Structure 1
Amino acid sequence: MPKINAYIGFNDTCRQAMAFYREVIGGELTLQVVKESPMKDMFPGSHQDMILHASLESSDFTLLATDLPGNSSVSPGTITLMLTYETKAEMKSAFDKLAEGGNVTHPIMEFFAGTMGNLTDKFGVKWGVFSAEK
C-alpha cells in the first residue's frame, strides 16, 4: 500500500518556506543541498546552493519540497503528489497506469536514493512515484 505525500516546488525559497512550516506545524526538517549530494555534478553552478530535497516529518505527516525546476520552470507553490512504494514493481505499475493518456515528464530512473519517475496524468494532476528499492 503506498503512502501519499505532497511535494512542493519552490523557486529558490525552499529553505525559508520549509523552516516557516516547521515553526507553524512542527516536525523534523531535513534539507539536502545540491552541492552536498551525490547528484551535484548533474547540476550547473547556479544550482549548487539550491535545495535538492527537503523533508518535514512527524508521526502524522510528511511534507516534501525542492527548489529545482526539472525540465520546466517551477511556479512557486507548484504541488506534486508523491506516491512512495515498498517495491520498485509496485511503483512501476502505478506509474504506468497514471501515465495512460497523460504526459511523462521524467521517465522512471534509478538514482542514489532509489527509483523514481514523474508525470502529469490525463486530468492535469502532477504525480511522482518513488521506491527506495533500486
Structure 2
Amino acid sequence: MSKISAYINFKNNQCAEAMNFYQNLLGGELNLMPVKGSPMEENFPGELQNGILHADLTGSEFNLLGTDMPNPNIEATIGLVSLTITCANKADVNEKFAKLANGGKVVHEVMTFFAGTMGNVIDKYGIAWGVFTDEQ
C-alpha cells in the first residue's frame, strides 16, 4: 500500500514554530531534528546550523514533514500544493479554520455548498489549507 505525505520547505527558520503550531492544531507526535548536532551538521554552513534539518509530525490519519533547509531546485510558483484537513463536523471546521486564519489570510470564508462545508486559508507561515467536512 502506498501513502502520500506532505513535505514543506519553510522560510526564515520557521519550521519548528510552524510544526509545533500544526501539532497543536492536529495532534500527533512531533519529532524535530536540528541541523546542529545531527549527523549532517558538517554539511551545512553556520547560518543554517540553527534550522531544522527534518521535522516529522505523525498522527493516526496523517504525516506532515518539514525542513528549514533551502532547496534551489524548487521554484515557488511551480507545483504549488494546498493541504486539506477533512473534519468530522462543521464545529471542527470552524475551530481549525479560525486557528489557521489567526495571523494568516482568509482566501474563502467557511461556507456550505452542495458537497459539504469548506473554507480556504493561507496560514501565517504561507501554507495554503482547505478545511472541509461533508456535513452541510
TM-score range normalised by the length of the shorter chain: 0.5 to 0.7
Q: Per chain length, whose mean CA-contact separation is higher, i.e. which structure has more relative contact order (CA < 8 Å, sep 6+)?
A: 1
What are the ranges of 5 or more consecutive residues in structure 1 without an aligned counterpart?
Answer: 80-134
Q: Give the Å deviation of 1:35.
A: 1.0
Match of 1:18 in 2: 19
Determine helix, strand or coil for the equivalent of 1:16. Answer: helix
1:3 deviates by 1.7
Report runs of 4+ in structure 1 exceeding 6 Å deviation: none
Q: Are the equivalent residues in 2 in contact too, given 1:10–1:74 (CA < 8 A)?
A: no
Contact 1:68 1:74 in 2 (8 A): no
Separation of aligned partners in 2, 1:74 and 1:55:
23
Q: Identify which range, 66-75 or 13-22, moves more after superposition.
A: 66-75
Alpha-carbon separation, structure 2, partners of 1:27 and 1:74? 30
**Deviation for aligned residue 1:25:** 0.8
TM-score by length of 2: 0.52
Q: Which amino acid is 1:55 matched to? A: D
Asked if residue 48 in structure 1 is aligned to residue 49 in structure 2, the reply is yes
- Matched pairs, number: 78
Contact kept, 8 Å, 1:52 with 1:68, in 2: the verdict is yes
Structure 2 equivalent of residue 3 of structure 1: 3
- Alignment gaps of 5+ in structure 2: 82-136
Secondary structure of the equivalent of 2:36?
A: helix
**C-alpha distance after superposition, 1:24-77 (max 9, x if no partner):** 1111110000012111111001111100000111111100000000335785xx
| DSSP 3-state at the match of 1:71 | coil
Q: Distance in 1 between matches of 2:36 and 2:75?
A: 20
Query: TM-score under structure 1 normalisation?
Result: 0.53
* Structure (1 or 2) with the larger CA radius of gyration: 2
Correspondence for 2:67: 66
Give the root-mean-square deviation of aligned CA atoms. 2.2
Question: Match of 1:118?
Answer: none
Aligned AA (2:33): Q
